[in-house]
Amino acid sequence: MRTIWWEEGLKMIDQTLLPEKLVILEVKTIRQLVEAIQSLRVRGAPALGAAGGYGVALAAQKSTFSDSENVIQEMEMAGEMIRQSRPTAINLAWGVDRVLRAASRCEDADEVRERALLEAEAIAEEDLAVNRAIGKNGARLLEDGDRVLTHCNAGRLACVGYGTALGVIRSAVAEGKDIQVYACETRPLHQGSRLTSWELSQDGIPVTLICDSVSGYLMRKGKIDKAIVGADRITSDAVFNKIGTYSHAVLARFHQVPFYVAAPLSTFDRVLQEADVTVEERDPDEVRRLGTVQLAPRDVEVYNPAFDATPLEYVSALITEKGIFRPPLMPPV
Amino acid sequence: MRTIWWEEGLKMIDQTLLPEKLVILEVKTIRQLVEAIQSLRVRGAPALGAAGGYGVALAAQKSTFSDSENVIQEMEMAGEMIRQSRPTAINLAWGVDRVLRAASRCEDADEVRERALLEAEAIAEEDLAVNRAIGKNGARLLEDGDRVLTHCNAGRLACVGYGTALGVIRSAVAEGKDIQVYACETRPLHQGSRLTSWELSQDGIPVTLICDSVSGYLMRKGKIDKAIVGADRITSDAVFNKIGTYSHAVLARFHQVPFYVAAPLSTFDRVLQEADVTVEERDPDEVRRLGTVQLAPRDVEVYNPAFDATPLEYVSALITEKGIFRPPLMPPV
């Protein structure tokens, strides 16, 4: 099963209900899509690329105009809403723009609708192919017996399928290597416990769940051979990824553990630098509450950034569909 | 209000119910005390010292024998149960042994009972005095305007009152210094969110709650001036404290942020070294579940150590009631 797909409408796994329930969400409006993105029902850079593309395609299907100009205008308005729903995630804008660009070449409203959906489907298919290529390239870096730390979920649930960081692990396992994964739970939203440990367990890949604060201690005890994470945006100077990535990267550097970032070329931002990127701050209640449990005083101040930035020089290698690049080497545009 | 005290029996704040409910627990049996210690209803090295002492005194009060030998034997059995309830916490054994030693000098059963309670009360009174001395000594290290990171709860709730790491902050604030605290939530049991942010808010000391994985990023952004934590055991080579302490210490070192440990002399272990100490591993469900929320697959493997060990050379200063010691300098026995 894919994470997001089109089947008589836009469908996706509602990731907020995992690991207890596997529920398929039917997305019928742009407003519903924006809510799904903001609530992290769909998340992960590559999956957001597909969500952006499918979202614009959805706007096209729903438009009742019969002239292409008005349909495209509605698609552009939808695209803007989608783009703004999670501004740090570059793939979202990338998927939106790609479908808009493809559709804008059409002259007839029905052709716009058809072209938009085809382009969104192409994004999804390419994502799968790209992830398999990332996996194959990255698997060269993993050795039989490696114990690999990962943070958040850069798995098939973060993509249309297969995964980036976890795709590398899947490929290594498929090659017959014995890999043990340490999955950081990833506070505050537990993508590591809810998603990574779920999808690895489903695939029969050995996984041990840890609190985020345990990674340094495991490295000190010599129990981590490699660390591998995904990315939400890679500028010329830094990797933006789930909050906590930076700490793991510094700890890895300190303990001489190779630190790898696996990401498709669509994650690379060739324009902005670290200082130009706004890091999204999320609702304090994500940290103050969990379910019905009040974890902290209701009015206590909270700093809850969604991402952090890791300087590229702390990254041992970038794993892409075009090969492995060791910073300061970067993949060609 | 103290954290643990004797008032027609042994009483304590049930810390598992904070911050939503302030409930006083009446401890009537040793079995109930062991449960309270293991469930972290009372926790924190100095508070456990008092709990150990009061526990042995409770055993003495409850003993129905009329000869001192049998009363003391019951106290020793109770002491052994209490000691084993959290083996990494040196203060627990220290409190137990101190009351046992004091009572063993008595010849008459009633005298044993009286002496045991007096000694337990003395531990509690001394803890308060010691914490105030630690606070006064440590406050010299904090400057007006400092933004201070802390982990777990080394506050008044970890002690009979006042606190060690938070006692230092309280003293600095009492001296008129403006201090802003960043409290790490401290997964998996949230002592930072539940206890530290609660007790600092109660005192009107500005506190911002963060996920444990945010500390490195804040340091990189130059937003942390000092870090200060408590300790569960300090050997000649390492500080044992809540899991996550080691990562913060390495991150502090990497970012040249002073890293302080505030602890009474009773926390110093003059016999064992890091390698000799068993680190308690706790229930996997602490990480897999929270309240009624299943955070991870029910059967996923979990590594859940309660503590980690930070090499002494990563500690900028040890703050004790006898003054400040910069490793390799250690307080005299």
The angle at the Cα of B283, spanning B80 to B267, to the nearest 5 degrees, equals 45
Left, alpha or beta for B31 (phi > 0: left; psi -120 to 50: alpha)? Answer: alpha
Spatial separation of the C-alpha atoms in residues B101 and B62, rounded to whole Å: 18
Which residues of chain A does B239 touch, with a Cβ-Cβ cutoff of 8 Å? Answer: none
Of B212, B244, B254, the CB nearest to A254: B254
Instruction: Please give the pLDDT value at position A75.
Output: 98
A window 181-210, beta carbon within 8 A of B: 182, 184-188, 190, 193-194, 197-198, 201, 206-210
Q: Is the pLDDT of residue A90 over 90?
A: no
Question: Could you tell me what percent of chain B has a pLDDT over 70?
Answer: 100
Q: How confident is the model at residue B266 (pLDDT cuts 50, 70, 90)?
A: confident
Q: What is the pLDDT of residues B193-250, one digit of tens each?
A: 999 999 999 999 999 999 999 999 999 999 999 999 999 999 999 999 999 999 999 9
Band of pLDDT at residue B88, cut at 50, 70 and 90 = confident
- Which chain A residue is nearest to residue B249, measuring alpha carbons? A216
Q: Is A232 a catalytic residue?
A: yes
Cα–Cα dist B129/B113, whole Å: 25
- Among A127, A212, A232, A269, the active-site one is A232
> Which pLDDT score, from 0 to 100, does residue A87 have?
82
Q: Which ipTM did the prediction report?
A: 0.92
B102 pLDDT band, cuts 50/70/90, is: very high
Best B182, B211, B294 residue to mutate vs chain A (most A CBs within 10 Å): B211
Q: Which residues of B touch A21 (CB under 8 A)?
A: none
Answer yes or no: do B295 and A190 touch at CB < 8 A.
Answer: yes
Q: Where are the beta strands (DSSP E) in B151-247?
A: 180-184, 207-210, 226-229, 233-234, 238-242
Least confident of A123-127, A234-238, B30-34, B263-267: B263-267
- pTM (2 d.p.): 0.92
Residue A228: both structure tokens together: 């591998």
Q: What pLDDT is stored for residue B87 in this prediction?
A: 82
Which of helix, strand or coil describes residue A169? Answer: helix
Residue A11, burial from CB neighbour count under 10 angstroms (0-12, 13-18, 19+): middle
Residue A142 to residue B28: CA distance in whole angstroms: 56
What distance in Å separates the CA atoms of residue B184 and residue B152, rounded to the nearest whole number?
7
pLDDT band at A45 (very low <50, low <70, confident <90, very high): confident
CB contact under 8 A, A211 and B185: no
Contact A151, B247 (CB under 8 A): no
Q: What is the mean pLDDT of residues B79-108?
A: 93
**Are A89 and A34 spatial neighbours (Cβ–Cβ below 8 Å)?**
no
Q: Do A211 and B244 touch (CB under 8 A)?
A: yes
* Candidates B20, B188, B194; nearest CB to A211: B188
Q: Which of A82-96, A123-137, B186-200 has the lowest mean pLDDT?
A: A82-96
Choose, out of B152, B189, B217, B253, the residue to mutate when testing the contact with A (most A CBs < 10 Å): B217
Does the beta-carbon distance from B287 to A185 stay under 8 Å?
yes
* Mean pLDDT computed over A291-302: 96
Contact B71, B63 (CB under 8 A): yes
- Across all residues in chain B, what is the average pLDDT? 96
Gap between the terminal Cα atoms of chain B: 32
Count Cβ–Cβ pairs < 8 Å, chain A vs chain B. Answer: 185
Compute φ and ψ for B327, nearest 5 degrees.
-55, 145
pLDDT at A151 > cutoff 80: yes
Residue in chain A lying closest to B247 (CA): A216
Q: Within a 13 Å sphere around the CA of A88, how many CA atoms are in the beta-carbon half?
A: 25
What are B128's two structure tokens? 């308060």
pLDDT tens, residue by residue, A164-196: 999 999 999 999 999 999 999 999 999 999 999
Structure tokens at B142: 């904090």
What pLDDT is stored for residue B92 in this prediction? 93
Residues of A in contact with B247 (CB under 8 A): 213, 215-217, 247, 251
Chain centroid to CA A84: how far? Answer: 16
| pLDDT, position A305 | 98
Nearest CA in chain B to A240: B217
Q: Which of B243, B292, B295 sits opposite A213 (nearest CB)?
A: B243
CA–CA separation, A125 and A68 (whole Å): 26
By three-state DSSP, how is residue B322 classified? coil
Is pLDDT at A119 greater than 80 in this prediction? yes
CA gap B277, A326 in Å, rounded: 41
Q: pLDDT of B138-149, one tens digit each?
A: 999 999 999 999
Question: Which stretches within chain B are classed as H helix?
Answer: 30-38, 45-62, 68-85, 90-104, 109-139, 165-174, 191, 197-202, 215-220, 245-254, 285-288
Active centre residues of B (catalytic): 232
Structural domains of chain B ordered from first start: 4-132 (1.20.120.420), 138-325 (3.40.50.10470)
Q: Count the neighbouring beta carbons within 10 Å of the beta carbon of residue B124.
A: 24
Question: Which of A150, A211, A274 would best serve as a mutation to test chain B binding (most B beta carbons within 10 A)?
Answer: A211
Residue A222: left if φ>0, alpha if ψ -120 to 50, beta else—which one?
Answer: left
- Contacting A residues, span 244-273, partner chain B, CB-CB under 8 Å: 244, 246-247, 250-251, 254
H/E run at residue A116: helix A109-139
pLDDT at residue B90 tops 90 = no
Q: Which of B201, B250, B309 minimises the CB distance to A300? A: B201
Nearest to B117 by CA among B58, B51, B42, B29: B58
